[in-house]
Structure 1
Amino acid sequence: MFFSVIIPLYNRPQEIDELLSTLTKQTYTAFEVLIIEDGSTLDAKEIVKSYQDDLDIHYYFKENGGQGFARNYGFERAKGDYFIIFDSDCLIPSNYLETVRNHLYEHHLDAYGGPDAAHKSFTPIQKAISYAMTSVFTTGGIRGKKRNAGGQFHPRSFNMGVSRKVWEKVGGFIITRLGEDIEYSIRIHEAGFKIGLIPTAKVYHKRRTSFKQFWKQLHFFGRARINIYQFFPNTLKAVHFFPALFTLFLIFSVLANLFCSIFAVWCNWLIAIYALLIFIDSFFENKSVKVAFLSVIASFVQLTAYGLGFMEDFWKKIILKKNNKKIA
């Protein structure tokens, strides 16, 4: 089985250097790497060139069109039986491709996704963000499960693979951002292909390096859920409203503390218990008081940023039906 590893890249030369370094250590070596530079002003051409002796690597530069269409550009040029997509801010364990190859031989999948985790080299904030995006105490707990809240597993594009047959029948991404990976997964499901999780095919996903960047990303994710709804209305489930309800509860708690002390006491206790559960769970997972404390912040940022983005576009595009154009 020959793999084509496809990585879109935009102004992140240091990240691609770290990712490519991990690919040189793969125990399974039947693969090529395609780097799609998506109109970057700070390109990684020389960095990619430095790996030519260690990897079967190909570098392409195209006009900026977004990550989804950059992946399509790679699909069109890939030689593999299977196309594997990574985000540029991932580190790949040395046995990743061997794990995927073995699983696909034993359990046929037309497309797959894998989980993410925090690497020991990550900063405390990156570990806290990773916790928030994977914890059972946040909506991140839905990610990396065999079945998500919608009843189907939807791979995420930081760690995702599709067979050449999928590409030939379904094509690639039809939107380039705002939930492009989930939209693509739904079309693969509808075409009758088998999608599954490979639990042991994890990557170390750096995500964002500050809470400000994390806020912007999760606000974008909240808006993306409404964009997906416009393509597939039946995919909007009750669990997708949880961050919005959590955000409204926080707003209510602030108002209760200002105007109604009776409600304020109950609200404060509920928030404190929830924060304590996150702190304890993160401490046992990360063995660090600092990361546990930051995990509480990261979890609240994740839920409120997603919730506000979700409510913003829900109100504009579904309730008011303004600017409700599908975003490609």
Structure 2
Amino acid sequence: MNASITPQVSVVIPLYQGEQHIRGALESVAAQDLAPWEVIVVDDGSRDNGPAIARSVVAPFPITVVPRTNGGQGAARNTGFERASGDFVALLDQDDRWYPDHLRRLLAALEPADDAVAWVLSDFDEVDAEGRVRQPAVVASRGEVFPKDLDAAISQSVFALPSSSLFRRDAILAVGGFDERLRGYEDDDLFVRLLMAGKRHRYLPVATTAYHVHGENTSTSTVFLTSREIYARKLFAGFADDPRRAEAVRRRFRATSYHDYFTALAQGRRTRAREVAASLRAIERGRRVPMGDRFLRALLRSTRLTTLVLRMSRRLPRWLSPHWPSGFALHT
């Protein structure tokens, strides 16, 4: 049992088909050297034994399992925020783990009475299914810079892990929580809206969380592409009167889409490549696109033609080769 419990922190864990993981997640919360006041496990329509396992875990704090119809992680987290009684809410995904000093370190960074600091986040380690560290201190290893300003947050991925974040509950509720339409980009969307509301964040350059990397990749799903389109349109609408930032958003999703397209093409997944190209056209529909980009968009409609042009270009002198987007040659 923990010697110290803080009434300030509620923990929210979305649960969906997580019977293999939820006990470990809860035990990592119970092992904190500063325990939370409560844990709210939001059962997002699970059909396995995960909810029963969560109820069976013994901890020095109450564990409440809240059932709801399946709505995705964002919707589950919102349910947890609404049910939480603490001033601060810490998020933990069902398959991630906290190191014992996680809550103590993050709470100490938020305790000063500065309401403009709405959340704090830390670095994290990437681990495999057996819990072995594959990449220590991922944020530092990627050269990510925190805290981020609004320009950085809209022009690239925020790269903030929810499981390594602690929020002021009132700040989250004030901006409407997670956008429940998104099943991808929901984290970036929330952080951007907090920044747009004038809120700030702090960063701890120490890994306090073990982030579990799955074999599957949700960023390859059609649902994820739909979320990308919704998020991009939200950003365009938010910066309708700011052409510089709107163009930064367009460039970001152009680069991301090119990367995904060429990666899919290299893997022989032509249907996926066509889906990515269609998603990019949807994102840029109604927006001014430079002539060179318009030509490339037209080319990408045909995966066979794109492959043929690339093969031909490799036989040309370097100075005559088409100017492909960054990463093209690496992924084909």
TM bracket, shorter-chain basis: 0.5 to 0.7
Specify every segment of 5 or more residues in structure 1 that has no aligned partner in the other structure, as ranges: 255-299, 322-328
Letter matched to residue 121 of structure 2: G
Matched, 1:116 2:142: no
Letter matched to residue 313 of structure 1: S
Which moved further from structure 2: 236-245 or 29-38?
A: 236-245
Letter matched to residue 59 of structure 1: V
Secondary structure (helix, strand or coil) at the match of 1:79 reads coil
Give the alignment partner of residue 280 of structure 2, picking from 306, 309, 314: 314
How far did 1:218 drift?
A: 4.7
The separation in 2 between residues aligned to 1:147 and 1:84, in whole angstroms, is 20
Aligned residue in 1 for 2:101: 95
Q: Structure 1 residues 105 and 207, CA, compared in 2 at 3 Å: closer, same or farther?
A: same
Report 1:64-143 matches (<5 A).
64-105=70-111, 108=114, 109-119=117-127, 122=130, 127=134, 141=142
Letter matched to residue 171 of structure 1: G
Aligned residue in 2 for 1:22: 28
Matched, 1:217 2:222: no
Aligned residue in 2 for 1:59: 65
Report 1:175-324 matches (<5 A).
175=180, 176-200=182-206, 202-208=208-214, 210=215, 213-214=216-217, 216-218=218-220, 224-233=227-236, 234=246, 236=249, 238-246=251-259, 311-319=277-285
The separation in 1 between residues aligned to 2:122 and 2:37, in whole angstroms, is 18
Aligned residue in 2 for 1:294: none
Q: Structure 1 residues 225 and 156, CA, compared in 2 at 3 Å: closer, same or farther?
A: farther
The separation in 1 between residues aligned to 2:82 and 2:42, in whole angstroms, is 12
The separation in 1 between residues aligned to 2:253 and 2:190, in whole angstroms, is 18
Structure number with higher relative contact order (C-alpha < 8 Å, ≥ 6 residues apart): 1
Secondary structure (helix, strand or coil) at the match of 2:205 reads coil
Aligned residue in 2 for 1:260: none
How far did 1:201 drift?
A: 5.3
Secondary structure (helix, strand or coil) at the match of 1:55 reads coil
Letter matched to residue 45 of structure 1: P
Letter matched to residue 219 of structure 2: Q
The separation in 1 between residues aligned to 2:80 and 2:47, in whole angstroms, is 20
Matched, 1:165 2:170: yes
Q: Structure 1 residues 251 and 118, CA, compared in 2 at 3 Å: closer, same or farther?
A: closer
Greater gyration radius: 2
The separation in 1 between residues aligned to 2:260 and 2:177, in whole angstroms, is 35
Q: Structure 1 residues 76 and 244, CA, compared in 2 at 3 Å: closer, same or farther?
A: closer
Contact 1:243 1:307 in 2 (8 A): no
Aligned residue in 2 for 1:263: none
How far did 1:87 drift?
A: 1.3
The number of residues matched between the two structures is 261
Q: Structure 1 residues 28 and 195, CA, compared in 2 at 3 Å: closer, same or farther?
A: same
Give the alignment partner of residue 42 of structure 1, picking from 45, 48, 67: 48
Alpha-carbon deviations, 1:73-131, whole Å to 9, x = none? 1111101110111211101100000111122235952123333212487478x83xx68
Q: Structure 1 residues 43 and 142, CA, compared in 2 at 3 Å: closer, same or farther?
A: farther
Contact 1:9 1:35 in 2 (8 A): yes
Contact 2:10 2:89 in 1 (8 A): yes
RMSD over aligned CA atoms reads 3.7
Alpha-carbon deviations, 1:168-227, whole Å to 9, x = none? 42221223423111111122112221123333253111121x2xx12x435565654433
Alpha-carbon deviations, 1:276-297, whole Å to 9, x = none? xxxxxxxxxxxxxxxxxxxxxx
Letter matched to residue 81 of structure 1: D
Secondary structure (helix, strand or coil) at the match of 2:10 reads strand
Q: Structure 1 residues 249 and 46, CA, compared in 2 at 3 Å: closer, same or farther?
A: closer
The separation in 2 between residues aligned to 1:83 and 1:56, in whole angstroms, is 15
The separation in 2 between residues aligned to 1:218 and 1:35, in whole angstroms, is 27
Alpha-carbon deviations, 1:228-287, whole Å to 9, x = none? 1110123626455445444666799x7xxxxxxxxxxxxxxxxxxxxxxxxxxxxxxxxx
How far did 1:163 drift?
A: 0.5
Structure with the larger helix share: 1
Contact 2:253 2:280 in 1 (8 A): no
Letter matched to residue 236 of structure 1: V
Q: Structure 1 residues 155 and 53, CA, compared in 2 at 3 Å: closer, same or farther?
A: closer
The separation in 1 between residues aligned to 2:73 and 2:86, in whole angstroms, is 20
The separation in 1 between residues aligned to 2:123 and 2:78, in whole angstroms, is 23
Contact 2:109 2:120 in 1 (8 A): no
